[in-house]
Structure 1
Amino acid sequence: MEYGVLGWIVVGLIAGALAKWIMPGKDPGGIFVTILIGIAGGLVGGFIGSRLGLGGSGNFINILVATAGAILLLWIYRMVKSRSA
Protein backbone atom coordinates (compact mmCIF):
# COMPACT_ATOMS: atom_id res chain seq x y z
CA MET A 1 0.00 0.00 0.00
CA GLU A 2 1.40 3.38 -0.99
CA TYR A 3 0.85 6.27 1.40
CA GLY A 4 0.15 9.78 0.29
CA VAL A 5 0.92 12.87 2.32
CA LEU A 6 -2.31 12.55 4.32
CA GLY A 7 -1.49 8.93 5.12
CA TRP A 8 1.96 9.88 6.36
CA ILE A 9 0.43 12.60 8.54
CA VAL A 10 -1.82 10.01 10.20
CA VAL A 11 1.11 7.62 10.55
CA GLY A 12 3.11 10.59 11.91
CA LEU A 13 0.56 11.09 14.69
CA ILE A 14 1.08 7.48 15.72
CA ALA A 15 4.83 7.85 15.31
CA GLY A 16 4.86 10.98 17.46
CA ALA A 17 3.08 9.15 20.26
CA LEU A 18 5.51 6.23 19.97
CA ALA A 19 8.51 8.56 19.90
CA LYS A 20 7.28 10.31 23.04
CA TRP A 21 6.77 6.93 24.70
CA ILE A 22 10.27 5.77 23.69
CA MET A 23 11.88 9.09 24.65
CA PRO A 24 9.99 10.27 27.74
CA GLY A 25 10.85 13.55 29.33
CA LYS A 26 9.85 17.14 29.48
CA ASP A 27 9.88 18.68 26.03
CA PRO A 28 10.30 22.45 25.75
CA GLY A 29 7.21 22.83 23.56
CA GLY A 30 4.81 20.46 25.26
CA ILE A 31 2.52 17.86 23.72
CA PHE A 32 1.44 19.92 20.71
CA VAL A 33 5.01 20.50 19.56
CA THR A 34 5.70 16.79 20.08
CA ILE A 35 2.69 15.94 17.90
CA LEU A 36 3.91 18.32 15.18
CA ILE A 37 7.39 16.78 15.41
CA GLY A 38 5.77 13.36 15.06
CA ILE A 39 3.93 14.47 11.93
CA ALA A 40 7.13 15.98 10.52
CA GLY A 41 9.00 12.81 11.44
CA GLY A 42 6.38 10.76 9.69
CA LEU A 43 6.72 12.87 6.56
CA VAL A 44 10.54 12.80 6.68
CA GLY A 45 10.59 9.09 7.47
CA GLY A 46 8.06 8.43 4.72
CA PHE A 47 10.08 10.40 2.20
CA ILE A 48 13.35 8.67 3.11
CA GLY A 49 11.67 5.27 3.37
CA SER A 50 10.09 5.61 -0.06
CA ARG A 51 13.48 6.57 -1.52
CA LEU A 52 14.97 3.44 0.06
CA GLY A 53 12.15 1.28 -1.29
CA LEU A 54 10.38 0.85 2.06
CA GLY A 55 7.30 2.91 1.21
CA GLY A 56 4.98 0.08 0.27
CA SER A 57 6.30 -2.61 2.58
CA GLY A 58 3.31 -2.72 4.91
CA ASN A 59 1.90 -0.78 7.81
CA PHE A 60 4.35 -2.06 10.43
CA ILE A 61 7.42 -1.04 8.41
CA ASN A 62 5.85 2.35 7.63
CA ILE A 63 5.20 3.01 11.32
CA LEU A 64 8.75 1.95 12.21
CA VAL A 65 10.24 4.26 9.58
CA ALA A 66 8.02 7.16 10.66
CA THR A 67 8.81 6.53 14.33
CA ALA A 68 12.52 6.54 13.58
CA GLY A 69 12.08 9.87 11.80
CA ALA A 70 10.08 11.27 14.73
CA ILE A 71 12.68 10.09 17.25
CA LEU A 72 15.44 11.68 15.20
CA LEU A 73 13.60 15.00 14.94
CA LEU A 74 12.62 14.94 18.63
CA TRP A 75 16.26 14.32 19.58
CA ILE A 76 17.46 17.16 17.32
CA TYR A 77 14.76 19.46 18.73
CA ARG A 78 15.78 18.69 22.30
CA MET A 79 19.46 19.30 21.50
CA VAL A 80 18.76 22.64 19.83
CA LYS A 81 16.44 23.81 22.60
CA SER A 82 18.80 22.76 25.39
CA ARG A 83 21.69 24.70 23.82
CA SER A 84 19.63 27.83 23.37
CA ALA A 85 18.28 27.78 26.94
Structure 2
Amino acid sequence: MEVFGGTYGIIMTILIGLVVGIIAKFLKPGKDPGGFIVTTLIGIAGSFLATFVGKSMGWYQPGQTAGFIGSVVGAIVLLILWGLLTRKR
Protein backbone atom coordinates (compact mmCIF):
# COMPACT_ATOMS: atom_id res chain seq x y z
CA MET A 1 0.00 0.00 0.00
CA GLU A 2 1.41 3.36 -1.03
CA VAL A 3 1.29 5.83 1.86
CA PHE A 4 1.62 9.14 -0.01
CA GLY A 5 -0.25 8.25 -3.17
CA GLY A 6 -3.89 8.34 -4.10
CA THR A 7 -6.36 10.54 -2.30
CA TYR A 8 -4.12 11.06 0.72
CA GLY A 9 -1.32 12.43 -1.49
CA ILE A 10 -3.68 14.83 -3.23
CA ILE A 11 -5.10 16.10 0.06
CA MET A 12 -1.62 16.59 1.52
CA THR A 13 -0.50 18.43 -1.63
CA ILE A 14 -3.45 20.80 -1.33
CA LEU A 15 -2.90 21.41 2.40
CA ILE A 16 0.83 22.01 1.99
CA GLY A 17 0.12 24.27 -1.00
CA LEU A 18 -2.29 26.30 1.12
CA VAL A 19 0.26 26.71 3.93
CA VAL A 20 3.05 27.59 1.48
CA GLY A 21 0.81 30.11 -0.31
CA ILE A 22 -0.20 31.78 2.95
CA ILE A 23 3.41 32.05 4.13
CA ALA A 24 4.50 33.45 0.75
CA LYS A 25 1.74 36.09 0.89
CA PHE A 26 2.85 37.14 4.38
CA LEU A 27 6.53 37.33 3.40
CA LYS A 28 6.04 39.27 0.15
CA PRO A 29 5.25 42.93 0.78
CA GLY A 30 2.37 44.60 -1.01
CA LYS A 31 -1.12 43.61 -1.96
CA ASP A 32 -1.58 40.19 -3.55
CA PRO A 33 -4.52 38.85 -5.53
CA GLY A 34 -6.89 36.08 -4.71
CA GLY A 35 -8.49 34.27 -1.89
CA PHE A 36 -8.33 30.74 -0.56
CA ILE A 37 -8.22 28.91 -3.90
CA VAL A 38 -5.70 31.26 -5.54
CA THR A 39 -3.47 31.10 -2.45
CA THR A 40 -3.52 27.29 -2.57
CA LEU A 41 -2.80 27.19 -6.30
CA ILE A 42 0.09 29.64 -5.93
CA GLY A 43 1.57 27.49 -3.16
CA ILE A 44 1.28 24.29 -5.21
CA ALA A 45 2.65 25.97 -8.34
CA GLY A 46 5.50 27.46 -6.28
CA SER A 47 6.47 23.98 -5.14
CA PHE A 48 6.46 22.72 -8.74
CA LEU A 49 8.51 25.73 -9.85
CA ALA A 50 11.08 25.22 -7.10
CA THR A 51 11.33 21.50 -7.93
CA PHE A 52 11.76 22.21 -11.65
CA VAL A 53 14.42 24.88 -11.10
CA GLY A 54 16.20 22.74 -8.49
CA LYS A 55 16.38 19.74 -10.80
CA SER A 56 17.53 21.93 -13.71
CA MET A 57 20.32 23.38 -11.56
CA GLY A 58 21.33 19.95 -10.27
CA TRP A 59 20.27 20.64 -6.67
CA TYR A 60 17.77 17.74 -6.57
CA GLN A 61 18.17 14.19 -7.74
CA PRO A 62 15.50 12.41 -9.81
CA GLY A 63 12.54 11.66 -7.57
CA GLN A 64 13.35 14.43 -5.09
CA THR A 65 11.12 17.45 -4.70
CA ALA A 66 11.69 20.90 -3.32
CA GLY A 67 11.54 21.26 0.41
CA PHE A 68 9.27 23.56 2.33
CA ILE A 69 11.56 26.60 2.13
CA GLY A 70 12.15 26.06 -1.60
CA SER A 71 8.39 25.86 -2.12
CA VAL A 72 7.86 29.15 -0.28
CA VAL A 73 10.57 30.82 -2.38
CA GLY A 74 8.95 29.46 -5.55
CA ALA A 75 5.56 30.81 -4.46
CA ILE A 76 7.06 34.25 -3.71
CA VAL A 77 8.61 34.31 -7.19
CA LEU A 78 5.21 33.49 -8.70
CA LEU A 79 3.54 36.24 -6.64
CA ILE A 80 6.10 38.77 -7.88
CA LEU A 81 5.62 37.67 -11.50
CA TRP A 82 1.83 37.77 -11.11
CA GLY A 83 2.06 41.27 -9.66
CA LEU A 84 4.18 42.43 -12.60
CA LEU A 85 1.77 40.93 -15.13
CA THR A 86 -1.38 42.34 -13.54
CA ARG A 87 -0.03 45.74 -12.51
CA LYS A 88 -2.27 48.64 -13.45
CA ARG A 89 -0.72 51.04 -15.90
- TM tier, shorter chain? 0.5 to 0.7
Higher relative contact order (CA closer than 8 Å, sequence separation 6+) = 1
Q: Is the 8 A contact 1:11 1:66 kept in 2?
A: no
Residue in structure 2 matched with residue 65 of structure 1 by the alignment: 70
Identity of aligned residues (%): 37
Residue in structure 2 matched with residue 19 of structure 1 by the alignment: 24
Q: Is the 8 A contact 1:44 1:69 kept in 2?
A: yes
Give the count of matched residue pairs.
Answer: 79
Q: 1:31 to 1:78 in 2, by over 3 A?
A: farther
Deviates more, 1:65-74 or 1:18-27: 18-27
Q: CA deviation at 1:54?
A: 4.0
Q: Is the 8 A contact 1:10 1:39 kept in 2?
A: no
- TM-score, normalized by length of structure 1? 0.65
Residue in structure 1 matched with residue 48 of structure 2 by the alignment: 43
- The RMSD of aligned alpha carbons is 3.1
Residue in structure 1 matched with residue 59 of structure 2 by the alignment: 53
More helix by share: 1
Q: CA deviation at 1:37?
A: 1.2
Q: CA deviation at 1:31?
A: 3.7
Gaps of 5+ in 1: none
Q: Report the Cα distance in structure 2 between the residues aligned to 1:28 and 1:13, rounded to whole angstroms.
A: 14
Larger CA Rg, structure 1 vs 2: 2
Q: Is the 8 A contact 2:14 2:40 kept in 1?
A: no
